[in-house]
Chain A
Amino acid sequence: MVEKKGLGRALSHAVLLFGAAIVLFPLYVALVATSHSYDVLIGSTPLWFGGELIKNFTTVLTQGLKAAGGIPVWVMMSNSLIMALGIALGKIAISITAAYAIVYFRFPGRELCFVLIFITLMMPVEVRIVPTFQVAANLNFIDSYAGLILPLIASATATFLYRQMFMTIPQELLEAARIDGAGPWRFFVDVVLPLSRTNTAALFVVLFIYGWNQYLWPLLVTNQESMYTVVMGIQRMVNIPDAVPEWNLIMAVALLGMLPPLLVVLGMQKLFVRGLVETEK
């Protein structure tokens, strides 16, 4: 084996520690800032914790920031949660069915459907925001969960992944199922769904984070503060005209806004890495 010893190994660890420090430093400072009162943060930021951590988290969760409309952050977080779950589950539902139809059926127009769906593969919503917004406005989607969710589930990546996965399911399974008298619905429910369970779980993790971290679309489609999501709501707190930002509270909101995806990434690390590497490749 090519093993590093002594100095080489120490150097490796030094490089990795440096990388970890770059990653963790902004989060550490955010946590420290959250633990101080507003007055302490005028002039400079201390590098060690104060005693207001719980108080500041409670304040933003239950009252929000007064200068930025005073919407409690727990409301924003539940909006984010509904949006993230809706996007993740919605994408999975429409993708797994569409991929099943494309792989397991032969009907006129199949090729066309295939092309129509996959042409959207890499087209992010950002590219066509103005007309998409007009569609959403015409459908009365402004300030609704449907408006937050539906336009964002139009993507082909998940369908592509399921298609690739279905192609690896042995043909003999379908032949055997048909000999046993199973129709397409039965085969879908009893064979295909159980076989795709791990892929679905991995995909769910990636899509949940994707949904939670949306910014531009929620910014456009929500006007009422009670419909704000946490990731987009924070921008209103930072950019208050004619006011010094309340950094201790803003950092509390930033930390709360990244907490659910963070728990998912770290708690389900294996599944997450698998989902990420497989959806993209």
Chain B
Amino acid sequence: MQDERYAFRGKKHLILPILFLLPQLVITVVFFFYPAGEALLGSVYMEDSFGLSREFVGLDNFVVLFSDPGYLETLYLTFIFSIATITLTMGVSLLMAVVADQVHTGGTLYKSMLIIPYAVAPPLAGVLWLFLFNPSVGVLSTFLDGLGYTWNHKLNGNQALLLLIISASWKQISYNFLFFLAGLQAIPRSLIEAAAIDGASPWQRFRNIIFPLLSPTTFFLLVVNTIYTLFETFGIVHAVTQGGPSRATETLIYKVFNDGFIGLDFGGSSAQSVVLMFIVMILTFLQFRYIERKVNY
């Protein structure tokens, strides 16, 4: 269908498209394909600790990786972190969007406030919450102390993970809110009004009409949020807990960084990168399926 478009063709029109494409192609090859290829290669080699020689080891790095209880723990931990963050942020955002969609006075003001976290970089969001939960001076930890609950995320791994989940969810509320709101506003009012006339309660209207019609948005956000919790939250982990206490908050992406740059285990880190690329490929595929499906709606 594309090739039937009217376009510049022939030898006369060869230089300009090449010049136009070149910058993006060069950058993509140098900073994407080459490093991705290196990661793939590195994942099947074992390098000595001085980086002087490498030996082909096939899938050994992957075997080592998946039989390492530490890596499996990291997988499990990342899974918990992702599910909790996605549930929390999507739940709050959906509630806010559904309510904001119905409010007529002050809607713009609420919207302006709710999009603020989008501007805040993940590590900065982490630092803000780190301060609130700081065991000695934090406002919220002091409050919890007053209730008889001791908060110290520097010693308690579960509390550290919870701190990351709260920070990561807070930061992502804006994004989800905006997309849910856009999705809600695209639902024809007449449908909801018809249901109301037929006597459907607000909950029934939400459950049977709004939520199903919102499902493309929900699915899209699910994929985007997964990518967010897997990768973009690196800054939160690094700035707030640095994987601690005793690796209780070491997520997949933090482990790639830690093993590659601190532990200098290039083969192991490459194998981990390849696993991550594989995950992203699956998510991209799902996303494309979504885009295709949306066209048919």
Contact = CB atoms under 8 A, between A and B. Distances in A.
Contacts of A126: 231-232, 234, 253, 256, 276
Contacts of B123: 215, 231-232, 234-235
12 contacts: A15-B96, A16-B106, A94-B24, A107-B18, A134-B38, A150-B31, A151-B27, A184-B16, A215-B234, A232-B123, A250-B131, A261-B121
A104 B7 contact: yes
Contacts of B220: 280-281
B214 interface: no
Contact of A124 (B9, B13, B115, B280): B280
Contacts, number: 302
A281 B220 CA distance: 9
Contacts of A54: none
B119 A97 contact: no
B13 to A, nearest CB: 6
Contacts of B192: 2
A131 B270 contact: yes
A105 B27 contact: no
A62 B107 CA distance: 40
A135 B35 contact: yes
Contacts of B13: 105, 107, 184
Interface residues of B, number: 102
Interface in A198-238: 209, 212-216, 219-220, 231-232, 234-235, 238
Interface stretch (B58-66, B75-83, B172-180): B172-180
Interface of A: 1-2, 4, 9, 12-13, 15-16, 19-20, 22-27, 29-30, 33, 41-45, 47, 93-95, 97-98, 100-107, 110, 113, 116-117, 120-135, 150-151, 153-154, 156, 159, 171, 174-175, 184-185, 209, 212-216, 219-220, 231-232, 234-235, 238-239, 247, 250-251, 254, 257-258, 261-262, 264-266, 269, 272-273, 276-277, 280-281
Contacts of A23: 113-114, 116-117, 170, 173
Contacts of A12: 99, 102-103
B32 A120 contact: yes
B49 interface: no
Contacts of A133: 261
Contacts of A22: 92, 170, 173
Contact of A20 (B28, B114, B118, B127): B114
Residue in B36, B95, B112, B137 with the greatest tally of chain A CB atoms within 10 Å: B137
B96 A19 contact: yes
Contacts of A27: 116, 128
Given A117-B24, A123-B32, A131 B39 contact: yes
Given A20-B113, A121-B284, A154-B31, A129 B260 contact: yes
B222 interface: no
A101 to B, nearest CB: 4
Contacts of B8: 104-106, 184
A98 B23 contact: yes
B32 A19 contact: no
Given A45-B139, A130-B270, A277-B179, A123 B31 contact: no
